[in-house]
């Protein structure tokens, strides 16, 4: 029997005012409904924001270590449900069991991390120029946070927004993406079990109009968004026009440079893992391999072999799962057609795999293109599927220029045995994350994360101490005694 999930508003599980629901389905078998969720509207958003605003003062005045204790208990609740949440994430989003389990564990770790960071909150003390004055700062929460999150990391991204917001003393309303909202609801369920006061965290499910109403609400003080560049820039303009503090992290067209000195087999492993992991549905996925001409042919042979060795199928048994929806699958297949029309050579993949196990699932083969020019759409636009464009270059100078030849600047990596090249790369690449001899995907939770150019509003970073900075504001105190 399909479960029907409710919104979480003011400490209670509630139905939407619309009385309507929508379904999430299994991308491996689209006819199978995973769960029904509330089809919320503006009135539901208003109720959630009212609840958050009403809880704001009491939560802000709760000692930070007490807030941390609740986050710690919520992390423990999530850990107890890890296997259940892993299965839910796999069924709604399509990740393999291993990938989903890793993401659930990351959410757990994030809550534990920010639970401990609450002990460090407070401010700083400085020396005044003259005597007789205590000079110090006091960090305080900003207010009500609107959090709008995507489907591709449906528990990790809500966690890395919600945990620092609550740790810093803000209240929040979360709107998860409609394709896979189940694990986001599980987070607030864990917080509820941990004793979070009513109204501090709220979740409303629905579609884009719900997110828009949340961003526009007068009682929202700050907005954090992760999603597409097109929507993100609209969110930022709307939020800042109303004087709200805002951060938006958006798309990527991430490159790995394979230098002349690179160990080719290692480079192929790094690129393939970055390009085809999580079905390429990561904003940090490697979608461009920029390869020196002297190792180009050997690299292509190696990376094609890795693509063809990937066993595609349902996430509980195979190496790579489906795309999340029919529209995402069709978008990837459309880019395959565009690449060939532009003159790129399809080395492997490019279609839907055939066989009984695939049924009507949203599967696509890991795909590699060569003979790609940097101005091709396949090298400039975000595909968000397991598609790799290989661009051949003649030297490191050209490789670096090609890596920077993008409107995006989220993550980039270089594979090289030359330390001088590595130093130049991390200094000159136009990306918020730069890696040496490592894949473009994969992030540590205790350091800042964010992009450059169209990948980000370049206002505030997420995760680590930077994640707390967005959710706090300092008051400077001059105490003359």
SS3 per residue for 124-161: CEECCCCCCEEEEEEEEECCEEEEECCCCCCCHHHHHH
Residue 132's pLDDT band (cuts 50, 70, 90): confident
Dist. CA 90–CA 182, nearest whole Å: 11
Both 162 and 81 in one domain: the answer is: yes
Instruction: State whether 183 and 300 are in the same domain.
Output: no
Residue 355: give its domain's CATH number.
3.40.309.10
The overall average pLDDT reported for the chain is: 96
So which residues are the catalytic ones? Answer: 283
Cα 35 from chain centre: 23
Is 446 within a domain?
A: no
How many other C-beta atoms lie within 10 A of the C-beta of residue 229?
21
Could you tell me if residue 448 is inside a domain?
no
Residue 402 lies in a domain: yes
Q: Are residues 59 and 188 in the same domain?
A: yes
At 8, which CATH number?
A: 3.40.605.10
Binned at pLDDT 50, 70 and 90, residue 57 comes out as very high
Number of structural domains the chain divides into: 2
Query: With 80 as the cut, is the pLDDT of residue 275 above it?
Result: yes
Residues 232 and 279 in one domain: no
Rounded mean pLDDT, 40-50: 98
Residues 220 and 157 in one domain: yes
Q: Are residues 238 and 283 in the same domain?
A: no
Distance between CA atoms of residues 450 and 283, nearest Å? 11
Q: DSSP letter for 27, please.
A: T
Query: Same domain for 331 and 475?
Result: no
Residue 130 has pLDDT above 90, yes or no: no
The pLDDT value given to residue 307? 98
Tokens of 89: 């994430």
Q: 300 and 421: one domain? A: yes
Residues 56 and 92 in one domain: yes
Note down the domain range covering 20. Answer: 3-250+456-480
Residue 444 lies in a domain: no
Q: Is residue 451 part of a domain?
A: no
As a whole number of angstroms, the distance between CA 308 and CA 300 comes to 12
Task: Clarify whether residues 187 and 115 are in a common domain.
Answer: yes
Residue 1 has pLDDT above 60, yes or no: no
Residue 386 pLDDT greater than 80, yes or no: yes
> Is 413 in contact with 438 (CB distance < 8 Å)?
yes
Residues of the chain above pLDDT 90, percent:
96
Query: Closest Cα to residue 110, out of 148, 158, 43, 143?
Result: 158
Q: Would you say residue 125 lies in a domain?
A: yes
Residue-level pLDDT at 2: 66
Q: Is residue 441 a part of any domain in this protein? A: no
Say whether pLDDT at 317 is over 90: no
Q: Would the pLDDT of 131 be above 90?
A: no
pTM: 0.96
| pLDDT tens track for 10-20 | 999 999 999 99
Q: Tell me if 201 is assigned to some domain.
A: yes
162 in the same domain as 224 = yes
For residues 342 and 209, state if they share a domain.
no
């Amino acid at each position: 029997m399909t479960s029907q999930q409710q919104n979480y508003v003011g400490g209670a599980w509630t139905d939407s005012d619309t009385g309507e629901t929508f379904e999430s389905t299994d991308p491996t078998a689209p006819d199978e409904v995973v769960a029904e969720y509330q089809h919320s509207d503006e009135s539901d958003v208003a109720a959630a924001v009212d609840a958050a605003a009403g809880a704001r003062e009491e939560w802000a005045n709760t000692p930070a270590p007490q807030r941390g204790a609740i986050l710690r208990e919520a992390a423990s609740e999530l850990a107890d449900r890890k296997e259940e949440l892993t299965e839910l994430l796999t069924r709604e989003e399509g990740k393999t069991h291993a990938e989903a389990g890793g993401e659930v564990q990351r959410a757990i770790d994030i809550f534990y991390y920010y639970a401990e960071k609450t002990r460090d909150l407070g401010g700083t003390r400085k020396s005044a120029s003259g005597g007789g004055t205590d000079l110090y700062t006091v960090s305080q929460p900003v207010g009500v946070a609107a959090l709008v999150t995507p489907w591709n990391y449906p528990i990790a991204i809500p966690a890395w927004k919600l945990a620092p917001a609550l740790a810093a003393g803000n209240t929040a309303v979360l709107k998860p993406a409609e394709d896979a909202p189940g694990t986001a609801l599980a987070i607030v369920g864990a917080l509820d079990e941990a004793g979070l006061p009513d109204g501090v965290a709220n979740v409303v499910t629905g579609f884009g109009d719900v997110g828009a109403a949340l961003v526009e609400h007068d009682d929202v003080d700050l907005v954090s968004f992760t999603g597409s560049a097109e929507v993100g820039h609209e969110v930022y303009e709307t939020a800042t026009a109303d004087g709200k503090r805002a951060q938006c992290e958006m798309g990527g067209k991430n490159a790995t440079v394979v230098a002349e000195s690179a160990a080719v087999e290692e480079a192929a492993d790094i690129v393939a893992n970055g390009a085809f992991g999580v079905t390429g549905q990561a904003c940090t996925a490697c979608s461009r391999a920029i390869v020196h001409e002297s190792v180009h042919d050997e690299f292509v042979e190696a990376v094609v072999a890795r693509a063809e060795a990937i066993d595609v199928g349902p996430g509980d048994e195979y190496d790579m799962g489906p795309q999340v929806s029919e529209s995402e699958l069709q978008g990837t297949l459309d880019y395959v057609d565009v690449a060939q029309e532009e003159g790129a050579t399809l080395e492997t993949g490019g279609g839907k795999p055939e066989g009984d196990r695939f049924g009507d699932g949203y599967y696509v083969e890991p795909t590699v293109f060569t003979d790609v020019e940097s101005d091709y759409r396949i090298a400039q636009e975000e595909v968000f599927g397991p598609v790799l464009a290989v661009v051949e270059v003649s030297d490191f100078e050209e490789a670096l220029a090609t890596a920077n030849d993008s409107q995006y600047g989220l993550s980039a990596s270089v594979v090289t045995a030359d330390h001088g090249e590595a130093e130049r790369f991390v200094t000159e690449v136009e990306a918020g994350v730069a890696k040496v001899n490592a894949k473009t995907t994969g992030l540590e939770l205790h350091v800042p994360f964010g992009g450059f150019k169209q990948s980000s509003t370049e206002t505030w970073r997420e995760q680590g101490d930077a994640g707390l900075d967005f959710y706090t504001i300092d008051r400077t105190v001059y105490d003359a005694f």
